[in-house]
Structure 1
Amino acid sequence: MYPTAAKLFAALGYAALVWYASLLIIPNLPEGRSEGLMPEVNALLAMILGWRIMGARAGQGFVNAIGIGLTTAAAILFWAIIMWAGYEALMRSINRRYNGPIEAIEASIALAMEFAQYTWPGPCLVTLAVGGIIVGVLSEAFAWRYGR
């Protein structure tokens, strides 16, 4: 796993995209819920997944880059929702709101479904889809220009 220009661009491109998309989710959060470090943490997650998913697969052609770009954006969204639901369930279990670990796991699944609803309505999903394609194609261009 050596660094390449495509991996670096994918990491930085998806970090910027997800940071912006996270800002678009903030108005959909329930009243009284703070966003905290959500954009920054999501951008860090996007950096890692952009490097590992899109960056590792750059160089397979521009048509494949569209699919891989969308896959990367979807994976980032999925893992961000899982991560934040798990964090919320952990905070609730620290406050002894659950009677056991199974109840906490069930609650984290329900929280993930609730958090997924915050992405809609609004431009977040469209931004992630279109931006994922653009970053994927540009990562492919970097792979072709600066070597795979």
Structure 2
Amino acid sequence: MPTAARLVAALALAALAFVVSGQIMPLMPENTDFGYFTHVNMALAAVVGWKIIGPRAGRGFVPGVNNGLTGMAVLVLLALFLQGAVEMFRLAHRHVYDDPFEALAAIFTIGLEYFFIMAVPTVLITLVIGGAVVGVIVDVSAKRWK
């Protein structure tokens, strides 16, 4: 059922994904083609906000912060998996992998490589503070528009 908290969670987490995607782009190699990188991350963030953060809103300040941090962590894990899968398919079209299991294992390897690229203090601080702020905003909106 649509609620104001779900809408606010989707929009706030999408805004956080937009900011963090902009911070990650300069960290990648110079010849990287980003394509729909930011758009995909924002859409994924909207879904995570709607499905995970929104329904758990309105329980108080500390649970709100925890809710935002949980949603941010789920978003990062799903985005790393999705971006790793996209890169694996790009490499699979070049016949890099010998069998399907090697290609499936490469999704996690590529995702882990992307995590180490994005694991710089500015990005991590933005994610933690942004996740907490999103949780508080969603909690306040759930209490205000019941």
Which interval holds the TM-score relative to the shorter structure?
over 0.9
Could you report, residue by residue, the CA deviation over 1:94-113 in whole angstroms, capped at 9, with x for unpaired residues? 22111111111122221111
Which residue is equivalent to 1:125?
124
Q: TM-score, normalised by structure 2?
A: 0.96
Please name the residue that 1:80 is paired with: 79
The alignment's C-alpha RMSD in Å is: 1.0
Q: Distance in 1 between matches of 2:4 and 2:61?
A: 16
Q: CA deviation at 1:122?
A: 4.5
Residues 20 and 39 in structure 1, CA contact (< 8 A), matched pair in contact too: no
Tell me how many residue pairs correspond in the alignment: 146
**1:28 aligned residue:** 27
Structure 2: any 5+ residue segments left out of the alignment? none
Q: Unaligned regions of 5+ residues in structure 1, if any?
A: none
Corresponding residue for 1:44?
Answer: 43
Question: After TM superposition, what 4+ stretches of structure 1 lie above 3 angstroms from structure 2?
Answer: none
Name the counterpart of 1:146: 145
Identity of aligned residues (%): 36
Q: How does 1:51-90 map to 2 (within 5 A)?
A: 51-90=50-89
Separation (CA, whole Å) in 2 of partners of 1:115 and 1:63: 31
